[in-house]
Structure 1
Amino acid sequence: MMKKRKIPLRKSVVSGELFPKKELVRIARSKEGEVAIDPSGRMPGRGAYIALDPKEAQAAWDKKILDRVLEVKLTDAFYEELLAYVTHQKARKELFANE
């Protein structure tokens, strides 16, 4: 009998819901205060997760949630990049979901 693998769960900082790690995107803040989208989930530094949902990315931008969670001032350009990334990833997921 095969042992059931545990699926790592993470909490979205926007909705507060738990999701499997693969359904979230990590935003990492380095010690130097630089913030980047972390697709691998392995960058060093403080991380915050948001669901792969453009609505969540937009809510994070509107309410400046990531600024608060990561204790750093983020530019609109970063939020635009995040929104574009999340939209793209969601579209990819839906495209390859039936494989």
Structure 2
Amino acid sequence: MPKVLIIGRYVLFFWMGENGEPVHIHISVKRAEANATKFWLLSNGGCRLANNNSGIPDKDLRKLAKAVTLNHTLICRAWCEAFGAESLVFID
């Protein structure tokens, strides 16, 4: 599970083997976990919450969504490197 960013106590990461899905990032507290929160990245540079399986508080979710948006390019580049993708697929 490649870690992409660490923001405070949250780790943002990819699960390997999910390269068939549109670009997304998982977030959990301190380490990668199976029941992580998931954000889809959007083609316009934003993001959309897919689920909050890890139960991150709303205040933190808003901050994390902003961080995902601000790091959209970095996350997309890391996705291409991790999965060997030549092009990106978004949900929108």
TM range (shorter): 0.3 to 0.5
Larger relative contact order, structure 1 or 2 (CA cutoff 8 Å, min sep 6): 2
Q: Name the larger-Rg structure.
A: 1
Structure with the bigger percentage of helix: 1
Give the TM-score of the pair, scaled to structure 1.
Answer: 0.34
Give the TM-score of the pair, scaled to structure 2.
Answer: 0.36
